[in-house]
Amino acid sequence: MTNPSKIRQLERIVEISRHLSSTHDLARLLQAIVDVACELTKSEGASILLYDHASGELRFEAVPGFQEQNIKGVSVPLESSVAGWIFTHARPMVLQDAKADPRIYREVDRSIEFQTNSLLGVPLMIGQRPIGVIEAVNKQNKSQYTDDDLAVLETLAGQAAIAIENVRLLKKLQDANSELLRLDRMKSDFIAIASHELRTPLGLILGHATFLQELIGEEHNEQLEVIIRSAMRLKEIIEDMAVISHDAEGKSRVRREEFSISEMVRGLSEKYEKAAIKKGVELQLDVPENDGLSIFGDKEKIDLALTNLVENALTFTDEGGQVGVKAEKDDGYIKVSVVDTGIGIPAEEHERIFDRFYQVESHLTRKHGGMGLGLSIAKAMVELHNGQIWCESKEDMGSLFCFMLPVDEEKASAAARIFKTAEQ
């Protein structure tokens, strides 16, 4: 015959388990566990104590409501208390007659005007590590604590330990996320301020250097060319920083017009053929002969994405290598691929290569230069069009970067809905 008392115990423990999975309010949850501990073990009181690393003592975290006011601020030492013994030995303890037991820390009794006559205590464990103690005191009707009482308290101890650890882990995660957001905000602020403040002095340097180039003879022309080239490189970096800043602040806007991807790819020859020849890299372009691959989008932003991918491929491909660019239609989208036979990217780096300022190479040893903004800019520009960008690469074998763009606003809106649903 089923024992009604056992059924009630199981029901109450299941209730606590449900509560455990539905709330992150640790104080309420521990209070509920204490109340159930009193009920199921038929005790006058119960408590949960947690180890305080700062003081090296146990402090009360949850007690019955009628005791809460008087017990706040009371700590229990590890050396001269039952709770301390349970914690340090990570073992339960039962005292059926505790009225004169010297191991009872009587300061607690005096604080709450209470007399501990019997006690059952169980450690709270995370793996093999104790974090606190749960106690039930004074079995009602002067009865003795049983093995069933011990099993109930051990079950509740496990639930309390899980709840405490979950809340602690959640707090650590929230703190880490807050710190990451703060650092990201600082990074974004720096980018915005630096790109703004550097524009004016750099413009003056370029303007005066160009003016002097027209006035000074050929004997100093080489030095001025170095100044102008270096200033132009700084200008490109500042423009990249401004693009990233605008995108991070949500200021980037897509100004749509119809244009040809085929023409854009063919234009890469004029832009990069000299640089490719100088480096000893073969640049190959592949677009349909009789199809302009028309698209309705922001030509300037798509061109920025494509040129960043090509420059990245040329940068990381050594002499004798190849860089190829191909554009083609793909079911309402246009797919653009940039492939190289360069140094490739280790598999563990693939998820981070589109992050701002991220460099695959160590900043101490890298030889190819750059600030790690090119790929993040390409990603931002593609995603502004509700497109997708990805990378496939093997170390020492080369890389393939692809992006797909919807050909018109209708397709772009459909893609946006798909991506939003996927994120949810």
Q: For 322-345, write each residue's pLDDT tens digit.
A: 999 999 998 889 999 999 999 888
* Residue-wise pLDDT tens digits, 194-205: 767 777 787 888
Average of pLDDT values for 31-46?
A: 88
Instruction: Determine which of 37-46, 156-165, 233-242, 399-408 has the lowest per-residue pLDDT on average.
Output: 233-242
Vertex 263 angle, CA 416 and 390, to 5°:
40
How far is the CA of 308 from the CAs of 50, 264, 359, 366, in angstroms?
56, 13, 15, 19
Instruction: Determine which of 209-218, 362-371, 382-391 has the lowest per-residue pLDDT on average.
Output: 362-371
Whose tokens are 């009789």? That residue is 290
**CB neighbourhood size of 333 (10 A):** 19
pLDDT > 80? residue 10: no
Average of pLDDT values for 242-263?
A: 75
Average of pLDDT values for 258-283?
A: 92
The per-type count for the chain, helices as H runs and strands as E runs, is 11, 13
**CB neighbourhood size of 120 (10 A):** 27
Whose tokens are 């390409």? That residue is 378
CA 42 to chain CA centroid, nearest Å: 46
DSSP track, 263-303: HHHHHHHHHHHHHHHHHT-EEEEE--TT---EEEE-HHHHH
By the 8 A CB rule, do 309 and 338 touch? yes
Token pair in block for residue 76: 């229990």
Residues 6+ apart with CB under 8 A from 64: 34, 35, 38, 45, 46, 47
pLDDT band for 86, please (50, 70, 90 cuts).
Answer: very high
pLDDT > 60? residue 422: no
By the 8 A CB rule, do 234 and 202 touch? yes
% residues pLDDT > 70 (the chain): 80
pLDDT > 90? residue 412: no
pLDDT band for 237, please (50, 70, 90 cuts).
Answer: low
* Residue-wise pLDDT tens digits, 348-373: 888 888 887 666 654 434 555 555 67
pLDDT > 90? residue 189: no
Average of pLDDT values for 59-84?
A: 82
pLDDT band for 244, please (50, 70, 90 cuts).
Answer: low
How far is the CA of 282 from the CAs of 177, 315, 325, 339, 368, in angstroms?
45, 13, 11, 12, 19
% residues pLDDT > 90 (the chain): 31
Average of pLDDT values for 178-193?
A: 77
Bigger pLDDT: 297 vs 109: 297
Instruction: Determine which of 63-72, 83-92, 346-355 has the lowest per-residue pLDDT on average.
Output: 63-72
pLDDT band for 65, please (50, 70, 90 cuts).
Answer: confident
Bigger pLDDT: 342 vs 64: 342
Bigger pLDDT: 316 vs 215: 316
Average of pLDDT values for 247-269?
A: 82
CA 140 to chain CA centroid, nearest Å: 51
By the 8 A CB rule, do 129 and 162 touch? no
pLDDT > 90? residue 135: yes
Instruction: Determine which of 10-19, 101-110, 166-175 has the lowest per-residue pLDDT on average.
Output: 10-19
Round the average pLDDT of the chain to a whole number and report it: 82
